[in-house]
């Protein structure tokens, strides 16, 4: 997985100004519109182990490993710089105008981008999302370029820290600060710090409103919550542990993740473990299938499975119909929509308390 290579990860970013001073990019450097001026470079990003990679200018040709990092770049307004992606988003799976932009990006691999195609892509930056799934975001699938090969091809290789480093975190993830840091860092690297600051501010506003509305609820009175990852397989459930961004989403929404005692990002358990937790609410974790109708079908399938399976039909949440139909990606993948999911969960669990903004 991590191997002996130096894994470069977005986050903990420091930007050195022209005068030799160092500024903390997580705090921003003012509200200049558009892309950063030349004076905002060089900028450096650190990895999980503290190793640093420095950019002297904004990348011009970017390849993304999958739809999550692609979406963040589109939101930052640098879609024109993205020349290819792996694991492309299906038509209709990204929100609003982002979908049309995403469909214009060349697909270099329907799953993992082949090594030769990536190294020969002409990219000067490759953004990977899941270090824990191998350097290509796909585990053991295919031959993964070494850091030396990336360097020889002139490609910077970086990751989204909020997901890539999640399993290595020394403490539970209970807020979205790592996601916000990723967005801030991507903004600094791509010269879109002002837009990044705007996106982060919007996230904070939503989460703060929820916190104000439900944050005072005693821990013992917060409903218990199970994220049912339907598409990870039903034979043996894959659950969300406390190092995963979804744990933060659930916690911020005023709920208690029933597997928050698991010190990892994800883990396979037995259905007897879920039964022992007997959650108050269950989120139907279904990936976006491209249309409201297709998504409804996916949610219906997940709910029906829980209602008819002998191991789960007796769960309190199932008997009471306490299901949340909220997409998997916006809950488990780092992005702007994590804040929307916090709001959506809180509105369901605390009707009348959370505003309808």
Q: How many CB atoms lie within 10 A of CB 289?
A: 18
CA distance 287 to 294: 10
- Asked if residue 5 lies in contact with residue 178, where contact means CB atoms within 8 angstroms, the answer is no
CA distance 279 to 314: 11
Give residue for tokens 């200018």: 57
pTM for this model (two decimals): 0.85
Which whole-number Å values give the CA distances from 205 to 200, 212, 214, 246, in the listed order?
9, 11, 15, 19
- Asked if residue 221 lies in contact with residue 240, where contact means CB atoms within 8 angstroms, the answer is no
Residue 257 forms beta bridges with which residues? 225
Residue 351 corresponds to which tokens in the numbers above? Answer: 């009707």
CA distance 203 to 34: 20
Q: For residue 162, which of 88, 54, 243, 73 has the smallest C-alpha distance? A: 243
φ, ψ of residue 125 to 5 degrees: the values are: -150, 135
Q: Residue 354: its pLDDT value, please?
A: 85
Rounded to a whole number, what is the distance in angstroms from the first to the last CA of the chain? Answer: 42
Give DSSP secondary structure letters for 17-44: -TTS-EEEGGG-S----SSPPGGG--EE
Q: Residue 142: its pLDDT value, please?
A: 54
Task: Work out whether strand 238-240 and strand 266-268 pair parallel, antiparallel, or are unpaired.
Answer: antiparallel
Residue 33 corresponds to which tokens in the numbers above? Answer: 């519109």
CA distance 172 to 289: 31
Residue 125 forms beta bridges with which residues? 62, 156
Residue 287 corresponds to which tokens in the numbers above? Answer: 């990936």
- Collect all residues with Cβ–Cβ distance below 8 Å to 237 and sequence separation of at least 6: 228, 229, 268, 269, 270, 271, 273, 274
pLDDT in 10s for each residue of the chain, 357 residues:
333 333 333 343 333 333 343 333 444 333 333 444 444 899 998 777 777 889 999 999 999 998 889 999 999 999 999 999 999 998 898 988 999 999 999 999 998 899 999 999 999 999 988 664 444 444 444 578 998 999 999 999 888 888 888 777 889 999 999 999 999 999 999 999 999 999 999 999 999 999 999 988 999 999 999 999 999 999 999 999 999 999 999 999 999 999 999 998 999 999 999 999 999 999 999 999 989 999 999 999 999 999 999 999 999 999 999 999 999 999 998 999 999 999 999 999 999 888 754
- Asked if residue 281 lies in contact with residue 317, where contact means CB atoms within 8 angstroms, the answer is yes
Q: How many CB atoms lie within 10 A of CB 348?
A: 19
CA distance 267 to 270: 10
- Asked if residue 166 lies in contact with residue 245, where contact means CB atoms within 8 angstroms, the answer is yes
Ramachandran region of residue 254, left (φ > 0), alpha (ψ -120 to 50) or beta?
left
Task: Work out whether strand 156-160 and strand 14-16 pair parallel, antiparallel, or are unpaired.
Answer: unpaired
């Amino acid at each position: 997985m991590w191997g002996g290579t130096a894994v470069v990860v977005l986050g903990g970013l420091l930007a050195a100004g022209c005068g030799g001073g160092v500024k903390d990019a997580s705090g921003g450097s003012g509200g200049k519109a558009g892309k950063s001026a030349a004076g905002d470079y060089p900028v450096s990003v650190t990895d999980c182990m503290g190793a640093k990679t420095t950019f002297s200018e904004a990348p011009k040709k970017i390849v993304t490993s999958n739809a999550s990092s692609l979406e963040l770049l589109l939101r930052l307004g640098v879609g024109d710089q993205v020349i290819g992606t792996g694991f492309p988003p299906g038509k209709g799976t990204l929100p609003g105008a982002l979908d049309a932009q995403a469909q214009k990006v060349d697909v270099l691999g329907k799953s993992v981008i082949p090594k030769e195609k990536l190294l020969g892509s002409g990219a000067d930056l490759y953004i990977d999302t899941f270090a824990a799934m191998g350097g290509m975001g796909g585990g053991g699938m295919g031959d993964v370029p070494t850091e030396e090969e990336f360097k020889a091809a002139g490609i910077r290789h970086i990751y989204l820290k909020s997901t890539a480093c999640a399993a290595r975190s020394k403490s539970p993830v209970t807020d979205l600060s790592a996601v916000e840091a990723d967005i801030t860092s991507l903004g600094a690297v791509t010269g879109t710090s002002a837009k990044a600051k705007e996106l982060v501010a919007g996230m904070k506003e939503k989460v703060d409103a929820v916190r104000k509305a439900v944050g005072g609820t005693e821990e013992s009175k917060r409903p218990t919550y199970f994220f049912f990852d339907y598409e990870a397989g039903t034979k043996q459930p894959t659950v969300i542990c406390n190092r995963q961004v979804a744990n933060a989403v659930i916690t911020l929404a005023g709920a208690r993740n029933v597997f928050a005692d698991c010190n990892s990002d994800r883990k396979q358990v037995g259905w007897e473990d879920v039964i022992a937790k007997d959650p108050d609410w269950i989120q139907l974790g279904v990936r976006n299938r491209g249309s409201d109708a297709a998504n409804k079908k996916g949610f219906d399938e997940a709910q029906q499975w829980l209602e008819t399976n002998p191991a789960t039909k007796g769960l309190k949440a199932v008997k009471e119909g306490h299901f949340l139909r909220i997409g998997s990606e916006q809950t488990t993948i780092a992005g702007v929509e994590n804040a929307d999911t916090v709001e959506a969960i809180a509105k369901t669990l605390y009707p009348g308390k959370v505003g309808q903004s």
